[in-house]
């Protein structure tokens, strides 16, 4: 059965399975960032809210990029279920720390798929994933730069307002 499928699709079937898992992870990220945007909105942190609305939209774009890649190459992309979204946070710093942790996990996941691509010589999918490798470096750096502001300025009321004013999505 696998051999028949292999003839019809341009990507390795094991890689396709991992890409479908990645679709779920990107959808989960989009939902997590939307919850973070809501928290920021409710706490009067308008720039941070805007940042996470944009970040959430970007994650949905990432999801669709992979979704279209699978379907364009004869595979089947699966629409993901999203659950277990946390809406409770103690501070803006905690939110950005959580976001960085999430991005580090996504980077590991992308790297893992690239490793699989090389193992099975699926160079088309590897080439497709290079965009994500670059994107992850930029996203991690963006969150690290923001977290540095908390280290420099602290987390009290005035510092928090000051940091929020400086938060902009690239």
Q: Which of 11, 18, 19, 26 binds ligand FEO (CB under 6 A)?
A: 26
Q: How far is the CB of 18 from ligand FEO (least distance, A)?
A: 15
Q: Which of 19, 31, 126, 139 binds ligand FEO (CB under 6 A)?
A: 139
Q: How far is the CB of 15 from ligand FEO (least distance, A)?
A: 18
Residue 125 found at the interface with ligand FEO (CB under 6 A): no
| Pick from 33, 100, 38: nearest CA to 62 | 33
Q: How far is the CB of 79 from ligand FEO (least distance, A)?
A: 17
Question: Do 103 and 140 contact (CB within 8 A), yes or no?
Answer: yes
CB atoms within 10 A of CB 161: 12
Question: Do 160 and 166 contact (CB within 8 A), yes or no?
Answer: no
Binding to ligand FEO (CB under 6 A): which residues in 86-105? 103
Six-digit token string for 150: 């908390």
- Residue 115 or 134: which CB sits closer to ligand FEO? 134
Residue 53 found at the interface with ligand FEO (CB under 6 A): no
| Pick from 15, 32, 22, 17: nearest CA to 136 | 22
Name the closest residue to ligand FEO (Cβ): 62
How far apart, in whole angstroms, are the C-alpha atoms of residue 155 and residue 118? 45
Q: Which of 15, 18, 27, 29 binds ligand FEO (CB under 6 A)?
A: 29
How far apart, in whole angstroms, are the C-alpha atoms of residue 87 and residue 35? 6
Q: Which residues contact ligand FEO by CB under 6 A?
A: 26, 29, 59, 62, 103, 106, 139
């Amino acid at each position: 059965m696998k051999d028949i499928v292999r003839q019809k699709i341009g990507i390795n079937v094991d890689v396709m399975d991992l890409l479908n898992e990645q679709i779920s992870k990107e959808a989960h990220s989009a939902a997590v960032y939307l919850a973070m945007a809501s928290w920021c909105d409710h706490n009067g942190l308008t720039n941070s809210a805007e940042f996470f609305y944009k970040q959430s939209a970007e994650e949905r774009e990432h999801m669709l990029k992979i979704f279209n890649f699978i379907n364009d190459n004869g595979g089947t992309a699966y629409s993901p279920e999203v659950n277990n979204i946390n809406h409770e946070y103690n501070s803006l710093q905690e939110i950005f720390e959580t976001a960085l942790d999430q991005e580090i996990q996504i980077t590991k996941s992308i790297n893992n798929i690239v490793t699989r691509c090389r193992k099975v010589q699926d160079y088309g999918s590897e080439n497709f994933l290079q965009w994500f490798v670059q994107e992850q470096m930029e996203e991690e750096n963006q969150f690290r730069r923001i977290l540095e502001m908390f280290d420099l300025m602290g987390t009290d009321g005035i510092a928090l307002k000051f940091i929020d004013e400086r938060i902009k999505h690239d």
